[in-house]
Amino acid sequence: MTEPISYDQLLSILVRDEPRVLTRITALFGRRGYNIKSLSVGNTEHPGVSRMTIVVHGDRGVVEQAIRQLEKLHDVVKIIDHSLEKYVDRELVLVKVAITPESRVEVRQIAEDFRSRIVDVGRHALTFEVTGDEGKLTAFIEQMRPFGILETMRTGRIALTRGSNADIASHIYHGGESDTLRPALEGLEAREERARGVPNLF
């Protein structure tokens, strides 16, 4: 048998915004020993719903199995497998680069070429903010490496499908409507509202 080909795969998971959801999701990957390469979580346009972008390294079978297991979770509203459609993805990185009076100009010039912004200026270091796809960020870091990188932090990738949701094939948004989430979310807001109104008795 030939080894299945492994590559990075991008998933967006819409989940109910409740305690332990992150644990439930990551535990599913962890149980089978699949390593999550990056994970970003944030709010969405729907109150009570968060969106995760997960990058998993694995073969197609691994990811398909993971998706099916995730779909069974009560907290999961929707999963978008970005390998099936065109998407845009971005990542943000903060890079702190060591500078000397001699290298200062060159470092700034490279940063400009990458359309990055300086977010902090120190006597011996500059901190840059760069957004873009994975390749651009990696290239930026490689360009800066010879000057001495003091610290970096990457947010992990985030992604959205391209086009308006009405243009998107039905296997992603069933029926092609952008408000297809609504049925799954019924009652969610009311419950949140109620929870806010109840005083803590103890």
Partner 1 sequence: MGQADGQEPSGQELSRGEMTGAKALWATLANHGITTVFGYPGGAIMPVYDALTFYPEVRHVLTRHEQGAAHAAEGWAKATGEIGVCLATSGPGATNLVTGLADAMMDSVPLLAITGNVARHLMGTDAFQEADITGITLPITKHNYVVRDVEELPQIIAEAIRIARAGRPGPVLVDIPKDVQLAAYAGAIPSPHARPEIPAPSDESIERALELLRSAKKPVIMAGGGSLDAAAEITALARAWDIPVITTLMGLGAFPASDPLWLGMPGMHGSVAANRAISEADVLMGIGLRFDDRVTGRVGGFAPNASIIHIELDAAEIGKIIRTHVPVRGDAKVAAVKLTEGALKGVWPDWTAQLQEWKDRNETPDHWGAGYAVKAVVDRLTPDDILSSDVGQHQMLAAQLARFEKPRRWLNSGGLGTMGFGFPAAIGAGMAEPGVRSVVIAGDGGFQMTAQELATLKMYDIRNVKICIINNSFLGMVRQWQEMFHGKRYSEVWLGDSNPDFLKLADAYDVPGYRASSAEELPGAIDAWLADPKSALLEVVVPHEHGVFPMVPAGAALYEMIESDPRRAAELKAQLADAPMNEAPTSTAAEVNDA
Say how far apart CA 114 and CA 1 lie, in whole Å.
Answer: 44
Residues 49, 15 contacting (CB under 8 angstroms): yes
State both tokens at 99.
């500078």
Indicate which single residue of 20, 86, 123, 174 sits in contact with partner 1 (rule: CB under 8 A): 20
Say how far apart CA 44 and CA 21 lie, in whole Å.
Answer: 15
Nearer to partner 1, 9 or 116 (CB): 9
> Counting contacts by CB under 8 A, is residue 174 touching partner 1?
no
Instruction: Provide the minimum distance between the beta carbon of 53 and partner 1 in the complex, in angstroms, as a whole number.
Output: 22
Helices marked H in the chain: 21-31, 60-71, 104-113, 134-144, 182-185, 188-197
Nearer to partner 1, 71 or 179 (CB): 71
Q: Packing angle between helix 134-144 and helix 104-113, nearest 10 degrees?
A: 170
Nearer to partner 1, 72 or 174 (CB): 72
- 197, HSE (Cβ side, Cα atoms, 13 Å): 6
Instruction: Provide the minimum distance between the beta carbon of 74 and partner 1 in the complex, in angstroms, as a whole number.
Output: 4
Instruction: Provide the minimum distance between the beta carbon of 57 and partner 1 in the complex, in angstroms, as a whole number.
Output: 20
> Counting contacts by CB under 8 A, is residue 5 touching partner 1?
no
> Counting contacts by CB under 8 A, is residue 65 touching partner 1?
yes
Nearer to partner 1, 10 or 25 (CB): 25
Binding residues vs partner 1 (CB under 8 A): 19-20, 23-24, 27, 31, 61, 64-65, 68-69, 71-75, 191, 194-195, 198, 200-202
